[in-house]
């Protein structure tokens, strides 16, 4: 959770344009990566994120300075993104039930690795492979578990932020996270038993 970013935004609350610029600078890449991981297509994800920020700007213009100061911007933007993503999926038959291809990743994950800083390319690649495998397993969960597990673990939203994004009670989100993880463990155990 980027608390420093949220606190930094408050200082721009009296100027909608400056607030908006900071919002875009802080969250554009995060939201684009989130959208790409759900949609699987960078161009559609880019369009979706543009729509998110257009809606955000229109809303910010209507908000008072106090509302902008108190706004939990990250969760608010994820909520807009989540809603637009579901609108996109419902409009696009080929997107319904899409399992994201493991080979298609956000550009920032394939940036050149700096070996001089002690980063081992093989380790980075193995970590990326493990994350991709885990994302594929999460994609096999029931939809209501997928959503909370993705937002909580991959997007690193707090449980309360996940509840706000999904319009679910906090208790429900906690249960879904726990049950989703239990199902993932069962699936992993079955795979281990099949191999062993």
User: In CATH, what number is assigned to the domain containing residue 20?
Assistant: 1.10.1740.10
Residue 81 CB-density burial (10 A; 0-12 exposed, 13-18 middle, 19+ buried): buried
Write the pLDDT tens digit of every residue in 91-133: 765 444 443 333 343 434 334 434 444 445 556 456 656 666 7
3-class DSSP state of 98: coil
The model carries a pTM of 0.64
127 and 91 together in one domain: no
Q: How far apart are CA 112 and CA 154, in angstroms?
A: 22
Distant-in-sequence, close-in-space partners of 12: CB < 8 Å, separation ≥ 6:
18, 19, 21, 22, 68
Residue-level pLDDT at 46:
93
Is the pLDDT at 182 greater than 70, yes or no?
Answer: yes
pLDDT at residue 93 in the model: 52
Cα-based angle 164, 167, 168 (whole degrees, multiple of 5): 95
Are 136 and 193 in the same domain?
Answer: yes
Residues 6+ positions from 53 with CB-CB distance below 8 Å: 20, 23, 24, 28
Return the pLDDT at 185: 85
For residues 1 and 159, the model is more confident at: 159
- Asked if 168 and 128 sit in the same domain, the reply is yes
Q: What is the mean pLDDT of the chain?
A: 78
Which carries the bigger pLDDT value, residue 1 or residue 121? 121
The single residue listed with the structure tokens 């997007």 is 155
More confident: 106 or 18: 18
Lowest mean pLDDT of 66-80, 119-133, 143-157, name the range: 119-133
**Per mean pLDDT, which of 51-55, 126-130, 178-182 is the most reliable?**
51-55
Say yes or no: 137 and 90 in one domain: no
Domain-embedded: residue 182: yes
107 occurs within a structural domain: no
User: Domain containing 58: what range?
Assistant: 1-95
Give the CATH number for residue 130.
Answer: 1.10.10.10
Lowest mean pLDDT of 55-69, 73-87, 108-122, name the range: 108-122
Contact between 26 and 2 under an 8 Å Cβ cutoff? The reply is: yes
The mean pLDDT value for 17-32 works out to 94
Task: Please check whether residues 136 and 190 belong to one and the same domain.
Answer: yes
For residues 9 and 73, the answer to whether their CB atoms sit within 8 Å is yes
Domain contains 190: yes
pLDDT value of position 137: 81
Q: Which of 59-68, 121-130, 150-159 has the highest mean pLDDT?
A: 59-68
Tell me if 106 is assigned to some domain: no
Number of domains the chain is built from: 2
Higher pLDDT, 101 or 185: 185
- Domain end point (choices 95, 130, 159): 95
- Cβ of 159: how many Cβ atoms within 10 Å? 16
Residues 71 and 139 placed together within one structural domain of the fold: no
């Amino acid at each position: 959770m980027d608390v420093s970013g949220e606190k930094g935004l408050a200082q721009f609350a009296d100027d909608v344009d400056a607030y908006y610029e900071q919002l875009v600078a802080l969250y554009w890449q995060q939201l684009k990566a989130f959208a790409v991981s759900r949609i699987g297509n960078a161009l559609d994800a880019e369009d979706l994120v543009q729509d998110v920020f257009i809606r955000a700007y229109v809303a910010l213009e209507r908000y008072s300075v106090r509302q902008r100061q108190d706004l939990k911007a990250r969760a608010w933007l994820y909520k807009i993104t989540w809603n637009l993503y579901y609108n996109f999926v419902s409009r696009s038959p080929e997107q319904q039930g899409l399992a994201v291809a493991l080979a298609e990743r956000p550009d920032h994950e394939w940036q050149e690795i700096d070996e001089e800083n002690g980063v081992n390319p093989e380790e980075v690649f193995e970590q990326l492979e493990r994350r991709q495998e885990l994302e594929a397993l999460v994609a096999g969960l029931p939809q209501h578990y997928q959503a909370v597990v993705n937002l909580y673990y991959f997007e690193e939203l707090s449980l309360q932020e996940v509840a706000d994004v999904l319009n679910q009670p906090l208790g429900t989100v906690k249960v879904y996270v726990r049950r989703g993880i239990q199902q993932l463990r069962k699936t992993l155990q079955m795979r281990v038993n099949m191999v062993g």
